[in-house]
Amino acid sequence: MRLDVKKTYKLFIGGAFPRSESGRSYEIKNKRGQFIANPAQASRKDLRDAVLAAKNAHPGWSGATAFNRGQILYRIAEMLEGRTSQFVDEIVATTGVTSSVAKQEVSAAIDRWVWYAGWCDKITSVSGNNNPIAGPYYNFTIPESLGVIGIVAEEKDSLIGLVRSLAPIIAGGNTSVLIASQSRPLAAVTLAEVLATSDLPAGVVNILTGIKTELAPWLASHMEIDGLDLSGIDSIAELRVSGAENLKRIHTFEKDVSPERILAFMEYKTIWHPVGI
């Protein structure tokens, strides 16, 4: 009998896969209480490293052409498709659902990436416009990415929940620091492997595994984070208060897919110039 070679589930920061600087990990068990893995338990320092990586990646990613971003998001879908069976196995292992249910989730996640890939070079057209002002000026409004967005991913749907939040945020040109589902972090770490092989520049997405209630307050209070998607955490009032220190744009979402998820983390810029000879 051949013994399985098991994977070490690590963090994803700045395109690399480090362990937590704290040396901590925590145990993941399946529904029957059997051991699955010891993913890294990220610390505040790991989170700050991730924010720095995201901050440094922002000029390049937001400055890339929308066409280029769309191609990379589509590439993510391609890579995910090729790894379907691996995700199915991990979802089955952590949640106990049947493989056909897990397969549906993976397919849906792939389709979300394809949908948002197409949005990259369209969101400006549908949300920006020229403004007919009463004077000799040319005036237009365009959406721009906000910057670094912190995401607390949904707890239950370990893959699709994460993609629901992440895909629109990077489609809009933001970079991100994502805290994975605490009880089901495996799909997030494996998604990092997909992202790392999709031509996505290092630092655009950074993924932390660990204890949400420990990490989320640091995410909310970090002054280099510009927005928060708190879809995956229940009590957010205190996080809103911390986020008010630099007036983070804080959202939770009910709709699964919507261009509003992209626009929620974009900022409108209006530019005036005189017209004349």
Partner 1 sequence: MNKFEYAPAPESRSVVKIQKDYDLFIGGKFVSANSNKRFTTINPATEEILSKVSLANGKDVDRAVKAARTALNKTWAKTKPKERAKYLYRIARILQERAREFAVLESLDNGKPIRESRDVDIPLAAAHFFYHAGWADKLEYAGFGDRPRPHGVVGQIIPWNFPLLMLSWKIAPALATGNTVVLKPAETTPLTALLFAEVCQQAELPDGVVNIITGDGSTGAALVNHKDIDKVAFTGSTEVGKLIACSIAERGIPATLELGGKGANIVFDDAPIDEAVEGIVNGIFFNQGHVCCAGSRLLLQENIADEFLIRLKDRMTKIRVGDPLDKNTDLGAINSSAQLAKIKEISDSGDKEGATLWSAPCSLPAKGFWYPPTIFTGVTQAHRIAREEIFGPVLSILTFRTPREAIEKANNTPYGLSAGIWTEKGSKILWAAQQLKAGVIWANTFNKFDPASPFGGYKESGWGREGGRHGLGAYLKIGKGAK
Give the interface with partner 1 as residue ranges (CB under 8 A).
126-127, 129, 131-135, 137, 139, 141, 226, 236-238, 240-241, 243-247, 249, 251, 253-255, 258-261, 263-264, 267-274
Side-chain half-sphere of 248: how many Cα atoms within 13 Å? 27
**Distance (Å, rounded) from C-alpha 102 to C-alpha 159?**
10
The residue among 31 and 240 lying less far from partner 1, judged by its C-beta, is 240
Q: Contacts from 48-51 at CB under 8 Å and sequence distance 24+? A: 48/218, 48/222, 49/13, 49/14, 49/21, 50/11, 50/13, 50/14, 50/177, 50/206, 50/208, 51/148, 51/177, 51/206, 51/222, 51/224, 51/225
| Neighbour tally for 95: CB within 10 Å | 19
Nearer to partner 1, 19 or 251 (CB): 251
3-state secondary structure of 140: strand
Nearer to partner 1, 31 or 269 (CB): 269
State in angstroms the smallest separation of the CB of 263 from partner 1. 8
Please classify residue 128 by burial: count the beta carbons closer than 10 Å to its beta carbon, then call 0-12 exposed, 13-18 middle and 19+ buried: middle
Q: Please, which residue, 99 or 246, has the CB nearer to partner 1?
A: 246
Q: Residue 45 or 240: which CB sits closer to partner 1?
A: 240
Nearer to partner 1, 5 or 247 (CB): 247
Residues 6 or more apart whose CB falls under 8 angstroms from that of 81 comprise 110
The minimum distance between CB 240 and partner 1, in angstroms, equals 4
